[in-house]
Structures are given as structure tokens and as C-alpha cells.
Structure 1
Amino acid sequence: MSRVCELTGKGRQVGNNVSHANNKTKRTFLPNLQNVTLMSDSLEKSIKLRVSTHGLRSVEHVGGLDNWLTKTSEDKLSPRVAKLKRELAKKAKSTAA
């Protein structure tokens, strides 16, 4: 399982540990990923996702998973969440008609 947020695309970063003697060794910085169940109001189902804490705060700030998906471009999302976004758009289109 890759260490990438399914909503924001945030992944690992690479940097250096720097000692007191200024020796540099490579290291990785991993995102703080959490397994979360988010509720979709319009689809009326819950979705289990692996989300960074930054992504979770962003979803709550925007007003829920449905609002987050409508405002985010598909290239940032994982394939599973992009499919969910398309379902959401289809549902919104059918209720508007």
C-alpha cells in the first residue's frame, strides 16, 4: 500500500538528516495518514479512505466530502476517489433534470 493521501495526493518527501558536524544522510518524511470513514450525503453511503490529517482538515473546512469532491480536480485524486467524484456528478445531474 503506497503512502499517499487519496484526497490530496500528498506523498512522501525526501530530505536530509543533518548532524552537529554537518554530515548529511538521506531520509524520508512520510505524511500522517489515517484510515477514516467519511459520509457522502448525496450518495447516502460511507466511504473508507486513507487520508492525511491535512486532507481531513481541508474536507471539514470546505463542508464535507461532497463539497470537497466537487471543488477538487481529478488529477489530484486517487482513481478510486475520482470514480466516486464521477458518481457524485452523475447523481447531481440526474436530480437536477
Structure 2
Amino acid sequence: MSRRCELTGKGALVGNNVSHANNKSKRRFLPNLNDVTLMSETLGRSVKLRISAHALRSVDHRGGLDAFLAKAKDDELSPRARDLKKEIAKAVAAN
């Protein structure tokens, strides 16, 4: 399982641990990923995703999963999220 947000594409970054004596050693900065279940209003079902805490706040700010995916760029989304976005778009077009 990769350490990458399924909605924003946020992943691990690389940097240095710097000691008091200015010795440097490599380290990784990992994103704050959470396993969450979000409800899709148009599909009428819940979806399990692994997203960052920042993405969870963005989903709430935009008014839910459907609104977030409608505005999201396809290249940032995971393949599962991309399929979900297409499924939601089809359901909206049908109604």
C-alpha cells in the first residue's frame, strides 16, 4: 500500500535530520493518511478511501465527496477515485 492520498495525490517527501553538531542524515516526511468512509449523495452509498487529513478538510469545505470530485483534476486522483468520479458524473447526467 503506497503512502499517497487517493484524492489529492499528496505523498512522502525526503529531507534531512540535522543534529546539534550539524550532522545530516536522510529522513522521510510522511503524509497524515487516514482510512475514512465517505458518503456519496448521488450514488446513495458509502466509499472507503485512504486520504490525508488535509484532503478530508477540503472535502468538508467543498460540501461533500461529490462536489470535491467534480472539481478535482483527473491526474491527481487515484484510479479508484477516477472511476468513482466517472460513476458520479454518469449518475448526475442520468437525473
Shift of 1:23: 0.8
RMSD (CA atoms): 0.5
Letter aligned with residue 39 of structure 1: M
Cα-to-partner distance string for 1:23-71 (whole Å, 9 max, x where unaligned): 1100000001000000000000000000100000000011100000000
Runs of 4+ with deviation above 3 angstroms = none
Distance 1:73 1:93 in 2: 19
Higher helix share: 1
In structure 2, C-alpha distance between the alignment counterparts of 1:93 and 1:66, rounded to whole Å: 13
Q: Which amino acid aligns with 2:86?
A: R
Does the residue aligned with 1:76 lie in a helix, a strand or coil? coil
The amino acid of 2:8's aligned partner reads T
For normalisation by structure 2, the TM-score amounts to 0.98
Percent of pairs identical after alignment?
Answer: 64
Aligned twin of 1:84 = 84
| TM-score for both structures, normalised by structure 1 | 0.96
- Kindly tell me the number of residue pairs found equivalent between the two proteins: 95
What is aligned with 2:43? 43
